Each structure stands twice: as structure tokens, then as C-alpha cells.
Amino acid sequence: MGAGSERKKLHQMACELAQVGAAAARRHFGRTFAHRKADDSPVTEADHAAQAAILQVLAVERPQDAVITEETVAEPHRHMTATTADHCWVVDPVDGTRNFHRGLPAWCTAVALLNGGRPIVGAIYDNLTDQTYSAVAGVGAWCDREPLRLKEQLHDADLTIAIASGRRRGLPPVVQDWLGKYLYRNVGSLCLHLAWTAAGLVDAAFAWECKLWDIAAGAVLIEEAGGIVSDHRGNGLWPVNPAAYHGEDLPILAGQRELHARLAATIRQNGG
């Protein structure tokens, strides 16, 4: 099988995995009980059900691959380790767990595939719209079957940044300046922020407290739609060593090229 055919197959699998996970989660919507993890963030039966559904497919279809997931993997022996596998799937079974638990339908399921520490395929299923955002590195990005391509010619008065909460570490002071210059949104799901940035529904996304599973799928979406993805200072995020990753925060700044450059410059100027 050629490289192009292989990427196409993996892209289709990522989309299907995101949809499978979301379907498993949806069966619990409106009747979940939240437990608290060590970092005090909530986790519900839906998170575990969605992750289990995704990992079941991967264990059967791609046993040669590793996995990194937000929740604990119940049967790690069914997957290769990140030190030995060429490919590593990164799974966020329910992004927007607080929304999900409270009955807000703003949540999604995100799946990405890393090769050489870089995301080469990503898919995000948006429960709000029943749409799947997806991308293949070097090929393109789509919302369902519609190609995504960012436009740059927006008036400054309309520029909108999706800013994730930063309660644990506190957001950098420069964010307060942004709130006075730009419109801003926070829907409670960074994966949705990134998917919507790729689709041009917002113009940039920033998050200070986020993990690999929050950003891997959205990053390839934005890059393939013509945007820029970096850490908060404008430095590259990739490669990430899956074998050495243990849940550390990976701050992200992503969006239209000109706006991204402008925002990254303000962070550097303010010592962020």
C-alpha cells in the first residue's frame, strides 16, 4: 500500500474513531455522575465509555500502534508501547466534560495519530453540529466533505480569539490586554476552539493549561487549513516524544498567520 493510500485509510479511521467515541459518550448524556481525578478535574462514565469504545477498535484494527489517552487505559497490554511503536494514537474521549456533566451539549471527541512525534491525521467530532472536522498532514483539512481554508482579510474590529480558562496556573497578564482589543469566546472545550479556528469560525485560539490530547487533532487541522500552530511564544510544538510525555502542559497559540504573529509578539514583549 502506498503512502497516500495509507494516509487516506488512517484518516478514515480517525474520523470513524471520533464518531464511535462520541456515540458511546452520548448514551450517557444527561445522566452522569462526576468523580474527581487527582488534579480535581471531573471524569464521568461517558469519558470512560467513549475511550473504551475507541480503544476496542484500535486493539483489533491497529494492535501495532501505541496510545496516549486522557483517562487511564484499562488494558494497556492490548496496545504497543510508545517506545516501540512507529505510530501513536492520541485520544480525548470527551473534551468539555464539565459541559457534558451539566447537560450542556458543547463537547466533542478528538482523535489524532502521531508519527515521528508529529500529528499526521486528526479528527474532531462536534456534538453541537453533528459534524466531523478532520485533516491529513500534507493533504488538507475538511469539515465533513467541505475543504477548509483560512482567510486573512478580516477587519480588526471583528477579530475573535477563543481563550480557554486558566484557573490552575492563571492566565498570562497579556491576555487581559487582548480582552480589550479583540472579541473573545470560551465554549469550554479547547478541541472545539481549535476545530472552529480551522473552520474560520474564530480567528485564533489560546490555551495555557492543556495537554497533548487537547491539541494534537486540532493542530493538524489548523496547519492544513493554512494557519499557524505554536507554543505561546511562537515556537514550534513538534516533535513531541510520546514515550517521554507524562501529561505536562503544552500551551498553544494557533490561528490566522498575521494574527498569530501579532499575538505571539505581544506575549514575548510582556515576558510570557
Task: Show me where the domains of the chain are located.
Answer: 3-147, 156-269
482589543: which residue's cell? 181
d(CA 102, CA 32): 9
Check whether domain 3-147 has CATH 3.30.540.10, yes or no: yes
Question: Taking 60 as the threshold, does the pLDDT of residue 1 lie above it?
Answer: no
Q: Which CATH class is domain 156-269?
A: alpha beta
Checking if the pLDDT of 153 tops 70, the result is no
Mean pLDDT of the chain: 93
Q: Reply yes or no on whether the pLDDT at 77 is more than 90.
A: yes
State how beta strands 183-185 and 160-163 pair: parallel
**Cβ neighbours around 153 below 10 Å, total:** 6
Highest mean pLDDT among 34-38, 98-102, 122-126: 122-126
Pairing assessment for the beta strands 228-230 and 204-207 based on DSSP bridges = unpaired
Give the residues across from 230 on adjacent strands. Answer: 253
Q: Which residue has the higher pLDDT, 166 or 9?
A: 9
SS3 142: strand
Does 6 have pLDDT greater than 70? Answer: yes
pLDDT at 205 over 80: yes
Strand 204-207 to strand 160-163: parallel, antiparallel, or no bridges (unpaired)? parallel
Q: What Å distances lie between residue 126 and 32, 95, 109, 132, 230, CA to CA?
A: 19, 10, 7, 6, 23
Q: At what angle do helices 174-181 and 257-269 cross, to 10 degrees?
A: 140
